[in-house]
Structure 1
Amino acid sequence: MTDDEWVPLRQELERWRLAGRQARLWLRDDDAIEPTEELETLLRITRQSSVPLTIAVIPAFTGEALATRLSLEDHALVAVHGWSHANHAGSDEKKQELGRHRQAQVVLAELRDGLVALERLYGKTLIPMLVPPWNRISEELVPQLSAQGFDVLSVFGKAKAGSPMRLLNTHVDVVNTRGKRGDRPHADLVAELVAQLQARFGSDDEAVGILTHHLVHGASEWEFLTRLFAETMHHPGAVWMSARDLSS
């Protein structure tokens, strides 16, 4: 990636600085189950850059090993990533675990079990946030989440007004776009981030969420994140915030 490709972000952040404002950013990573080399890379680069991290953990398949590892990281929070990340949609539908394909009480019971399991493993490191697998959830389930113990819902895209639950969404996916997975051009990612920031300039709109998937990152994704943190971590026009602070 050439240095010129970062110029649009620098210019946008300078606009925020000159206005005496800070663009709020937050980071969510999905699909964690156990300690891996990829997770170590994510933890290292976020720790070195003082970037708060929220890791969406799949309750059905995780255990003490990941909890023990994450207990050593003060900058990492944990959220509930569905129950088992299983697809219950038909072959002609987009993948969903939390859709209308099963009875609502069955789905909600699994989510409650997942929250309880991660509370036991993580204690105060857990934030009562639901991250639906594939960022999809049936609208009829959302009003019932608070009764299961959830305070926040996190999907992808601009937060819908009038939601029955507090939303803390992601907006720029480092890995996925339009059916393509991995090796996204860095210039495209910078352009998406700048567009999100421009849409928020002059307002107190939602923070911009960056979405990652550490298990499938290659060299390109790690390079982009490392450069993004370097460009933003000390810039007076930007601030990285934790999911807990943003949802309180």
Structure 2
Amino acid sequence: MTPDWSGLDRELEHWQEAGLTLPLWWRDDDAMSQSAELDRLADLSAALDLPVHLAVIPQGVTPDLARFVADHPQLIPVAHGWAHQNHAPAGEKKAEFGSHRPLDELLDDAERGLTRLRKLFGASLRPMFVPPWNRVSPEMLTWLAGAGFTAVSTFGPRSSAKPASGLLRVNTHLDPIDWKGSRSLLPPERLIAQAARQLRERRLGDTDNAEPYGLLTHHLVHDEMVWEFTAALARRLLAGPAEAWIYDERMS
């Protein structure tokens, strides 16, 4: 069944009539090594001409990923925490860098991850901190710049562009996976309505349109429906008011 894109198409028309531009970026989480799924991600990124900020788990990363990224410059490595290990108490939402741990431990792990990824990826690594499960202790934000990071990325519209001195916040906004249910694609009509609503809020000034609109994916768990929807959505946005956005640490 073909999804009904009319609601989003109407919103995109409003953007074009208003002469607005949508900065669009793509973040894909949980990379550690080369795989068939990563091959497909790279191919789709190239076909769309939309780079992917690849959130790499430092503890588990393998040298073959660095070689693959070097051969595919549209893949932009960023730091995905340290080990993607949950430290939250039972019954609480998962977090590796939540307030459950001492601040010095959080910063040590973050800095250790950045150091390891810099050794592997060199200048291609962007010093963006992506906490697993999109959760980070507010106290930690003040200190991330001192640990070598210039940006942080979680999920949902940001409340401020710079949560701390020298640190830019660039979040993601749409995740197509039904994590609490089928672990396949959420109902397409729900995702399309969500995207249309988010763009309308930006157009009307209710949320920050200077923040790039972020697609969040997880290539290792995609089924065919997730791949197809992600490609279709990105193509629609890029055919309208969207322009591909890449993080540069000079923006911070």
Coarse TM-score class (shorter-chain normalised): over 0.9
2:238 aligned partner: 233
What are the equivalent positions in structure 2 for 1:1-248 lying under 5 Å apart? 1-2=1-2, 5-161=4-160, 163-164=163-164, 165-176=167-178, 179-180=180-181, 181-203=183-205, 204-235=209-240, 237-244=241-248, 247=251
Q: Which ranges in structure 2 are unaligned for 5 or more consecutive residues?
A: none
Task: Kindly state the Cα deviation for residue 101 of structure 1 after the two structures are TM-superposed.
Answer: 2.5
The one-letter code sitting in structure 2 at the alignment partner of 1:106 is: E
Would you say the 8 A contact 2:127–2:249 is kept in 1? Answer: no
Would you say the 8 A contact 2:126–2:249 is kept in 1? Answer: no
Distance 2:251 2:9 in 1: 27
Range with greater deviation from structure 2 (38-47 or 78-87): 38-47
Would you say the 8 A contact 1:30–1:212 is kept in 2? Answer: yes
The one-letter code sitting in structure 1 at the alignment partner of 2:211 is: E
**1:172 match: secondary structure:** coil
CA separation of 1:155 and 1:228: change in aligned 2, threshold 3 A: same
Dislocated runs of 4+, deviation >6 Å: none
Distance 2:199 2:111 in 1: 35
Would you say the 8 A contact 1:168–1:247 is kept in 2? Answer: no
Q: Which ranges in structure 1 are unaligned for 5 or more consecutive residues?
A: none
Q: Percent identity?
A: 37
Supply the RMSD in Å over aligned alpha carbons. 1.8
Between the two proteins, the alignment pairs up a number of residues equal to 245
Distance 2:235 2:225 in 1: 15
Distance 1:243 1:42 in 2: 19
Distance 1:54 1:247 in 2: 16
**2:243 match: secondary structure:** strand
